[in-house]
Chains A and B, each alone.
Chain A
Amino acid sequence: MHESGELGWGADLQGGEPYVYESPTQPGVIIGFEVEIAEALARELGVRAKFHQNDWSNLIPSLERGDFDLALNGLEDTPARRARLRLSRPYFVYGETLAVRRGSQLHSLAELSGRRIGTLNQTVAQELLQAQHAEVVLYEGQQEPYLDLSQGRVEGVLLDHVIADRYGCAQPGLSCVKQDLARGTYVIGMRPSDAELATRVDAALSRLIESGELRRILEHWRLWDARQAELSARAPLPLPSTSSAAVAPLAPVSAAIPGPAPVPAKQTISRAQFGLFFQGALFTLLISVCAFALALPLGVLLAVVRSHGGRVSRVLATAYVELFRGTPVLLQLYVLYYGLSSLVRLGPIQAAILGLGLNYAAYEAEVHRGALAALPRGQAEAASSLGLSRIQVLRHVLLPQSLRIALPALTNDFVALLKDSSLVSVITVVELTKRMTIVAVELRDWVVPGLLCAGMYFALSFPLSRLSLWLERRYQSA
């Protein structure tokens, strides 16, 4: 930053209001309390702040790669992050807020054991819930967990009060537990090697706190509350804790100033993580097989209707194919799971199977339409001239031949589906790829989990391509 006169800071616009987001009235302009903090910091340091958009779940890897100097986006102070990064003094105090459906008796962490509770991936809340042995459902955006809570897909949502206040507590039918279930702080993440920058950032933050500038920013965003009194504490705040003692007091707790971040011991994949990988692979296989079992017959039906149906049904089948091929499957999954949740209430797995199945049916329809068109016209005429009905001609003469023609494309599509099934993590299904990213973040290593994940995909898809070769040969020599 010294050479360029720029202070690069990374955050995810998807995190939304009030953190860092695009102004609804001025597209392209980025606003939020963290934007103002970044700019205030840059002013204190005599440089310009430069924003870098970065997917939140990859914020730390990108920081480590050197994409920017500061990770400034609701980053919670945790032991793991202290071990990995240089963390600034806190700029915000948050409370873990439990949202439940109105009438629910849940109101403490201990009660969440075994319950299905939603939160965001890679948060302190996730760790707290896992420590309580709750069934954790992970989301990527902050609106979806509350939607699912309303729909009864989870029993509670544990998230920072900033998110809960804005996205959850005010929802009809939901209420939030009054007292914080735990408390923690947002800090700025920096590379361990940037010792000098860290010192200057801490000094600048201190000046912002003492001058009241930070308070002014937080008040501007209606974020200033009693919790923020802890910010002016000279000493670092305690780590979030599940013990009841750490939750109640608002008073600063003194703790030793952490020295330079210790180099953590290299972790390896544990037996339990390995088991979870297998579980993820099974989910991937289950979803893919079921989705394809839906896509194949539906695709054949669509193809038959398109090539042999009446005018109206042909138009409908064509519309189906164009709609599902012409829009992203990710969008379709969102619409199916969140958008239509008031009409059809589907579990994540059912929605994943249905969404992928309906989408792939459109592709299978095209494959089969092409295969049917590739058959010589005389096949259908010869069969008709022998007295077979239209349905019998299709069933006994055309489809058996077109399926053989389509076979290589079908196998290809199934392998593609196997990999596309990783998209269903957006509707909270933890399949193979999602498991890989979770483990990679835990281990701070993308190589070993990545190779393991790739190996499992390969183990699933390779036998398939062998099977397809064998089938092709069998049909040719039969």
Chain B
Amino acid sequence: MIRIAGLHKAFAGGPVLAGIDATVAEGKIVALLGASGSGKSTLLRCLNGLETFDAGTLEIAGFSLKPGAHDARTLHALRAKVGMVFQEFHLFSHLSVLDNITLAPRIARGAARAPAEAHARELLAQVGLGERAHAMPRELSGGQKQRVAIARALAQGVSVLLLDEPTSALDPDLREEVREVLRKVARGAHGASGPGLTILLVTHEHALARELADEIWTLAAGKITGISRPA
């Protein structure tokens, strides 16, 4: 469950978020569409605490965030529940695929190596990279990197997944393998085992948005200008 109320955020160049009010029910998938600079990515970054905001409130995964700096303990706890995938993957280049996925569970959450690795291998199998556990990031294609990044974001058992243009940095012929993984993750959200993952997907791919999302929000100039439900 995500509840956004009166969210304002300005950078030095002017306002980016100019009063966002919206709610996402648990287990729902929302796609955010809008031109570059409309505030989509900033909204996502606010939800993970990577950006602070100037006014309004955010409730996400049982945490509530207020304007100004967040305290480190809240962020630490919040991020165990809210995973984020970046446009440019940001895999840790000095760590193997497996270590990329187990780093946070082990270092930030104190998990033991063996169970963390077992879970990481399951996730890798789900994103179709079961054979590449010991590869280094530079040995992977862009699509493979993004699939590892998705597995990494899920590794802590998050309840919210934030995806910031996950296919935009990829060559068109590599996008489908990531879309395929996203479909799988979305099925997890809509799975029979009750409401699962809540997903916010920032994208420029309208077709993907219509295919996966329960709701499509259109952003312009820092405001939600339209909410639609694909048939």
Contact = CB atoms under 8 A, between A and B. Distances in A.
B86 A387 contact: no
Interface string B100-121: 0001100111000000000000
A378 B86 contact: yes
Contacts, number: 65
Contact of A387 (B80, B93, B94): B80
B52 interface: no
Interface stretch (A23-31, A35-43, A394-402): A394-402
Contacts of A378: 86, 88, 90
A384 B50 contact: yes
Contact of A385 (B48, B88, B93, B103): B48
B24 interface: no
A203 to B, nearest CB: 80
Contacts of A401: 92-94
A254 interface: no
B88 A387 contact: no
A388 B136 contact: no
A404 interface: yes
Contact of A389 (B80, B91, B108): B108
B205 to A, nearest CB: 21
B72 interface: yes
A251 interface: no
Nearest to A399: B94
A383 interface: yes
A382 interface: yes
Interface in B63-107: 72, 75-76, 79-80, 83-84, 86, 88, 90-94, 103-104, 107
A381 to B, nearest CB: 6
Contact of B94 (A384, A389, A392, A404): A404
Contact of B103 (A384, A386, A478): A386
Contacts of A387: 75-76, 79-80, 104, 108-109, 156
A58 interface: no
A475 B136 CA distance: 11
B108 to A, nearest CB: 4
**Interface range, A side:** 20 to 34
A275 interface: no
Contact of A379 (B48, B72, B92): B92
Contacts of A79: none
B152 interface: yes
A376 interface: yes
Contacts of B156: 386-387
A19 to B, nearest CB: 62
A390 B73 CA distance: 12
B90 A389 contact: no
Interface in A354-412: 376, 378-379, 381-390, 392, 396-397, 400-401, 404
Interface in A202-234: none
A392 B105 CA distance: 12
Contacts of B91: 382
Given A382-B92, A404-B94, A478-B136, A388 B104 contact: yes
Contact of A388 (B86, B88, B107, B149): B107
A404 B136 CA distance: 15
The listed residue with most B CB atoms (<10 A of its CB), out of A376, A378, A386, A396, is A386
B168 to A, nearest CB: 14
B84 A385 contact: yes
| Interface residues of chain A: helix, strand, loop or mixed (majority) | helix
A92 B13 CA distance: 82
A392 B75 CA distance: 14
B92 A392 contact: no
Contact of B86 (A382, A392, A400, A475): A382
A379 B152 CA distance: 13
Nearest to A478: B136
Contacts of B149: 382
A449 B152 CA distance: 61
A379 B88 CA distance: 10
A386 B104 contact: yes
A386 B79 contact: yes
A388 B90 CA distance: 15
Contacts of A384: 50, 75, 79
Interface string B144-170: 000001001100100000000000000
Contacts of B80: 387
A386 B78 CA distance: 9
Interface centre among A387, A401, A475 (most CB of B within 10 A): A387
A378 B164 CA distance: 13
Given A381-B86, A478-B136, A388 B94 contact: no
Nearest to B152: A386
A392 B92 CA distance: 13
B107 A392 contact: yes
A396 B103 contact: yes
Interface in B198-225: none
Contacts of B136: 478
Contacts of A383: 92, 103-104
A385 B94 contact: no
Contacts of A404: 94
A376 B80 CA distance: 24
Contacts of A382: 84, 86, 90-92, 149
A389 B79 contact: no
Contacts of B107: 388, 392, 396
Given A384-B50, A385-B48, A386-B156, A379 B90 contact: yes
Interface of A: 376, 378-379, 381-390, 392, 396-397, 400-401, 404, 475, 478
28 contacts: A376-B90, A378-B88, A378-B90, A381-B50, A381-B86, A382-B84, A382-B86, A382-B90, A383-B104, A384-B79, A385-B84, A386-B79, A386-B83, A386-B104, A386-B108, A386-B153, A387-B80, A387-B104, A387-B108, A388-B103, A388-B107, A389-B72, A392-B107, A392-B108, A396-B103, A397-B92, A397-B103, A401-B93
- 4 closest A-B pairs by CB: A382-B90, A386-B104, A387-B79, A378-B90
Given A382-B92, A392-B108, 4 more contacts: A386-B103, A387-B76, A388-B108, A401-B93
